A and B are shown apart, each in its own frame.
Chain A
Amino acid sequence: MRHLLSTQDVTQSEALAILDTARELAQVADRPVKKLPTLRGRTVVNLFFEDSTRTRISFEAAAKRLSADVINFSAKGSSLSKGESLKDTALTLQAMGADAVVIRHQASGAAHRLANSDWIHGAVINAGDGTHEHPTQALLDAYTMRDHLRDGQGSLEGLNVVIVGDVLHSRVARSNVWLLDTLGADVTLVAPPTLLPVGVGQWPCRISYDLDEAIVKADVVMMLRVQMERMNAAFFPSAREYSRRYGLDVPRMSSLPDHAIVMHPGPMNRGMEIAADVADADRSVILDQVTNGVHIRMAVLYLLMGGQEA
């Protein structure tokens, strides 16, 4: 693996290697010194064309725990807001000696463009491109599922995962569908028909329009954020109706099997797709997802940058 652009490119053995590495790296968080010298002298650039707090600081924390130098480059207040092209930005980063670039961009395919150009030589990690993919989020979700429901080992064979909400705009859903399928889980997408993308029938998952029916046998329920900022048309009649049909409230949560966990990639719209009492419930693992995100990103940085130059 030279870049991490899409979970479609990741084989099962690569995915398991990332999860296993993350599991070992998680131990470092319990030690007196929470830092490893592994990437000393290497530079990681966080190139964020789109607002993000948690993903950027998660990557930053991961890189720093591996002793890499981190440069944060965000669109606001930089030459990017003056209209510099992706190419010129990339050439600048190359000239500064970036060993890896973590990129978030509002255009689907931006990470792919960067990786397949000869603008930069380092590893490219996709931290979210438009409505396309967000592979490290899917990996940390898979890690969290494995940790809670599979004792932190092996694949996710036979695990029943229900992903609910705005699939149309969700790169998290796309990356999860491919990765979970690779790891052997059974995925069901639940969404209003207006929030499902064209061609979803070809994805390796089931589609349902009835949340109450889908969650009865679920091991995992993953609620997606309703992305108002990407919606330029009316996708559902009202927030209230959406919430009633596709939101996870307390009565609905009680129909889940006892062992089932509730996930959300954040940031949450409390009261919209997820009720506040559900977000704070014992079976909600939303904060574990955040913690595990650092471990997963450390594993990805180590596996892409730790060894011999390709």
Chain B
Amino acid sequence: MTPDQESLTDSDINRAVVRIAHEILERNRGADNLVLLGIPRRGVPLARRIAAAMSGIEGREVPAGALDVGMYRDDLRLRPTVALHPTVIPGGDITGKTVVLVDDVLFSGRTTRAAMDALSGAGRPRAVQLAVLVDRGHRDLPIRADYVGKNLPTSRDDDVQVTLTETDGTDAVRLVRAGGN
């Protein structure tokens, strides 16, 4: 398992987080009414990092939470039951807010679809945007990210492995080619 040249190091991830923070602020003209919601597991620490970077730039607290999508997936019957993760909505309500969903890898788009269903159960946001650390292509659904840390060309059978300090001890993105070792 040799890391390919496309993979991200810890400093690449840092730069991507800071750039996404700037892009979110630029596009939304500041942090008014913004809420970042990470999708468990690795979207949650990513959302916290982006929110912290935004707080640093704006000089005010940007709220970050978590949105579990397990109960909204369309592939529930194809896999064993998954453990549920906490959902944390900062301020308790997202109605009228601009929600930025944060995930580590965008692949088929099915997780994002489930997240949008989960959001509609939690209120009526004014707008929903999507930020991902890695977009690896191969969408099954008409879904596109608004903020992308890195576009990673992959084949369908490759494996993209994201590790983060908070969940795995180290920061890295590795692309493991199918059939390679």
**Which residues of A come within 8 Å of B, CB atoms?**
17, 20-21, 24-25, 27-28, 30-33, 35-38, 66, 302-303, 306-309
In this complex, which of B68, B72, B76, B86 has the most chain A Cβ atoms within 10 angstroms of its Cβ?
A: B76
- B72 / chain A contacts, CB cutoff of 8 Å: 36-38
Out of A21, A32, A66, name the residue touching B84 (CB < 8 Å). Answer: A21
Q: Are A302 and B121 in contact (CB under 8 A)?
A: no
Q: Does B170 contact A (CB under 8 A)?
A: no
- Nearest-neighbor residue (CB-CB) of A37 within chain B: B72
Q: Known interface pairs A24-B68, A31-B122, A32-B121. Does A303 touch B87 (Cβ–Cβ under 8 Å)?
A: no
Q: List 18 A-B contacts (CB under 8 A).
A: A24-B68, A24-B86, A24-B87, A27-B86, A28-B121, A31-B122, A31-B123, A32-B121, A33-B120, A33-B121, A35-B121, A37-B71, A37-B72, A37-B117, A307-B76, A307-B77, A307-B80, A308-B78
- B83 / chain A contacts, CB cutoff of 8 Å: 17, 20-21
Q: Does B81 contact A (CB under 8 A)?
A: yes
**Which residues of B come within 8 Å of A, CB atoms?**
68, 71-72, 76-87, 92, 95, 117, 120-123
Q: A23 to nearest B CB, angstroms?
A: 9
Given contacts A38-B71, A308-B80, 19 further A-B contacts (CB under 8 A): A20-B83, A20-B84, A21-B83, A21-B84, A27-B86, A27-B87, A32-B95, A32-B121, A32-B122, A33-B122, A36-B72, A36-B121, A38-B72, A66-B71, A302-B71, A302-B81, A306-B76, A306-B81, A307-B76
Instruction: Name the prevailing secondary structure of the A interface residues.
Output: loop
- A21 / chain B contacts, CB cutoff of 8 Å: 83-84
Out of B71, B82, B85, B123, name the residue touching A36 (CB < 8 Å). Answer: B71
Q: B122 to nearest A CB, angstroms?
A: 5
